[in-house]
Amino acid sequence: MNALVRFGWSLDDQTENMSLLHIVENFSLDRVVKGAAAFDPDQLMSFQSHWMGQLPESDKVAGCLAFLIRAGLMPEGESPESINMVQRVVELAGDRIRVFGDILELSEFFVTTDGIDYDTDAFRKRVVTAPEAVGTLRQLTIVLTECQPFSAESLPDSVTAFVADQDLKFGQVAPVLRLAITGKNKGADLFPTLELIGRDECLRRMQAALAAVELDGTT
């Protein structure tokens, strides 16, 4: 509604985001322009992002959960466990969720190891063919195994210490770790992601990534 009313009408030269009540109270024909209105998808998404940010968290979780259930990524019904998981992912994703369907781009939180879908090009570039990447990944399995506690607070220290000890750069390590665990080159903050997925599942995914490299036949 916010976007539709702005097709050819404005309250003033600055106001963009308006509630329906505010629109009804202020609409006037003298502010309607004579020229044809233009549809701007980017502007529409800007409105959508703003109003998504105004929703109560419970509404966001319910909307995202419905899409996850429809996609087969979550079971039918709203169990406390499923609601809690979706809530934590929604909190982590923040403004990445502009429409409820955006939760599907975070499928790594709702699948097991077998369900990880690797970004093929990124995985080959960063892991399969990158010098030392496989060795780094093998060593990272030890780092994650020994990290105590396995949390977003302690993981940076463990990984940073590993990076310094190996005389590497964080930018060489983080993409390899992210790709092995999420299958993606980009995503939510890395260390909260690891904590939310959990140590055991992270280690299973890292072993699966190593197996995928061996299957590729390049190592």
| 77 and 31 within one domain | no
* Separation in Å, CA 57 to CA 49, 53, 62, 124, 188: 14, 9, 9, 38, 18
Given a contact cutoff of 8 angstroms between Cβ atoms, the answer to whether 180 and 206 are in contact is yes
8-17, 170-179, 209-218: the lowest-pLDDT one: 209-218
Residue 23's domain spans which residues? 2-42
Question: What is the per-residue pLDDT for 216?
Answer: 73
Least Cα distance to 198 among 104, 79, 110 occurs for 110
Question: What is the per-residue pLDDT for 217?
Answer: 57
Question: What is the per-residue pLDDT for 36?
Answer: 85
Q: Is residue 48 part of a domain?
A: no
Q: Is residue 68 part of a domain?
A: yes
Any idea which residue has 């979550």 for tokens? 74
pTM recorded for the entire structure:
0.83
**Bridge partners (DSSP) listed for residue 17:** none
Domain stop point among 88, 110, 132: 110
User: What tens digit of pLDDT does each residue of 53-69 get?
Assistant: 999 999 999 999 999 99
Count up the domains in the chain and report the number.
3
| 101 and 8 within one domain | no
